[in-house]
Amino acid sequence: MLTICFVFSCLALNAQSWIQVADFPAEERDDGTSFIIGSKAYCGTGFKVGWSATRDFYAFDMNSETWSAIAAMPAGKERQYASGFSNNNKGFVFGGLKGNNYLNDLWMYDPSQNEWKEKTSLPSMGRRGCISFVIDNIAYFIGGRTMNDLAINEVWAYDMSADSWQQKSDFPFGARYRGSGAASNDKGYLIFGTDENEHFHNELYEYNPSADTWSLLSVFPGNGRTHSSLNRLSNKLVVMGGMDSISNYADDIWRYNLDLSTWEALDVLPAIGRRGGMSFNDGTSLFYAAGIDPQNIRLKETWKYVNALSTHQFPEQKPIVKIYPNPSNDILNLELENCSSHQKIVFSVLDCLGKEILQEEITQSKTQIVLSGLPKGIYTLNILNREHTNQMKFVKL
């Protein structure tokens, strides 16, 4: 019998919570984009009910928590999987997918005129699902998918003052599609995404624009995912939602402290997991609008997470985790003792190449994992709660 101890955290005792606010005011959708100008978030495009791409846009006032329609993108410019960003009171939408057309065009929105203006297109192939962030007056676009590739590792920089593009050094850790990006204190950050082999990643990387270099900063304490969001609040990065390699839709929220290099679990998104929503923040509170749920039902809900910067206080317990017999033929028993009933706990099984082949939520203290369909060999069992991932090896006979 193999036994390990780890720390489970209970529910937060302070005032972090989710509040449902006004719904997104148009058709339910996923894979839209957003950008922030002042106290307003501008949200639009995406794939709506009826399986068609959109070009409409709406402004969400984060003070009054109300929506209003703004000018749509020009006729014929519908898209999903676009990248949105802003700077100097202007918003931008780059690339995406319209039908089978991979787009490389760039559009600027001027809220003072309520109009869109076309800017210089990327001087390369069209792409969708790029990771993006803005540092100073430069927007950076990493990876994405082209009509020829499942994922690429190119990095491009768009100078908003000069309306010009420059190719930078490739992302050195492999191709990435549908990862998430944000910037803080003159550095860029990239997490998640799939590579050219459709492997789901969970690493967090930091980009230094002055040296044009990338470095591994941390590893997310959970499985890799796509279709997630990354927000920057003060000196912290917040991850929300997404989908893993076996189509589990995430409802967990995680916060990475850039000063302390630590991960912390926050309160889960209410109701159901979801992916492909539009996420933004006002520096204190987080918002998440629309998206799609595990039943492929598109949503128009908008949720607000208040006090996202406050400190959690977790009373700690130390449950015991046991697996037996090890080695095992057909059934591996997993037991948890002294567990908090409030915590969501998930186990996953990885093969010798690190590929996830099974994941399930643990709903009781004793669980049986069926091994009869697995080839003989050595496997890794991950146990994940809202703060820690623990790994154990077992042998299938």
Domain ranges of the chain: 2-9+316-396, 17-306
Same fold, 2-9+316-396 and 17-306: no
**DSSP track, 107-136:** EEEETTTTEEEEEPPPSS---BS-EEEEET
Could you give the 3-state DSSP secondary structure of residue 382? strand
Q: Hey, which residues does 57 pair with through a beta bridge?
A: 44, 70
- Whole-prediction pTM value? 0.78
CA–CA dist 141, 116 (Å, integer): 21
CB contact at 8 A, 30 and 275: yes
Per-residue pLDDT tens listing for the chain (397 residues): 444 343 333 333 334 589 999 999 999 999 999 999 999 999 999 999 888 999 999 999 999 999 999 999 999 999 999 999 999 999 999 999 999 999 999 999 999 999 999 999 999 999 999 999 999 999 999 999 999 999 999 999 999 999 999 999 999 999 999 999 999 999 999 999 999 999 999 999 999 999 999 999 999 988 899 999 999 999 999 999 999 998 889 998 999 999 999 999 888 888 789 999 999 999 999 999 999 999 999 999 999 998 788 765 444 444 567 889 989 989 999 887 755 544 567 888 988 887 888 888 777 778 899 998 899 999 988 887 655 566 788 889 9
Q: Domain 17-306, CATH 2.120.10.80 — does that match?
A: yes
CA–CA dist 382, 350 (Å, integer): 8
In words, the CATH class of domain 2-9+316-396 is: mainly beta
